[in-house]
Amino acid sequence: MLADASIYGVALYAVGRSAKRKLQAAHLSGWLQLALALGVLSEVIRRFMFGSEPASTLMMCFGVIALIANATCLILIFKSKDDGAHMKASWIFSSNDVIANVGVILAGVLVAMTGSRYPDLVIGLLISGLVLHGAHRILKLKS
């Protein structure tokens, strides 16, 4: 949630500013998303190496709450997604969040069904790739 708040804070800072500042804000968001992707990846590696006991019910509950919050943000951003690089970055970030939330819920279901930690690790790896791809898309923005 800290990553979400940071990205939205950067986007809000850029509102009403020049196109150059909006692009700079978007690129800052891209770097923040890159840091998030690396953080997720390092957590997946840590859990793989040292073990983990994913709590499937907790994963699903937080996944649903986050999905509702992120889907709401995505709906709010929709009308303004083309109003500058900062809004495009927010759209990319929020879209990825919604996909990641569905992934967390799916991981929770699969962990509950199988009793294995591997669905959590595999989906965590996929989420880190998704976030990394989003960071790349944001950092490529030109306007």
pLDDT in tens, 21-36: 989 999 999 999 999 9
How many other CB atoms are there within 10 angstroms of residue 72's CB atom?
Answer: 11
How many other CB atoms are there within 10 angstroms of residue 75's CB atom?
Answer: 10
- CA-to-CA distance for 108 and 104, rounded, in angstroms? 6
Per-residue pLDDT at 48 exceeds 90: yes
Report residue 1's pLDDT band, with 50, 70 and 90 as the boundaries: low
Task: Determine the pLDDT at residue 14.
Answer: 85
**Mean pLDDT score, 46-50:** 94
**Mean pLDDT score, 77-104:** 93
Average pLDDT value for the chain: 92
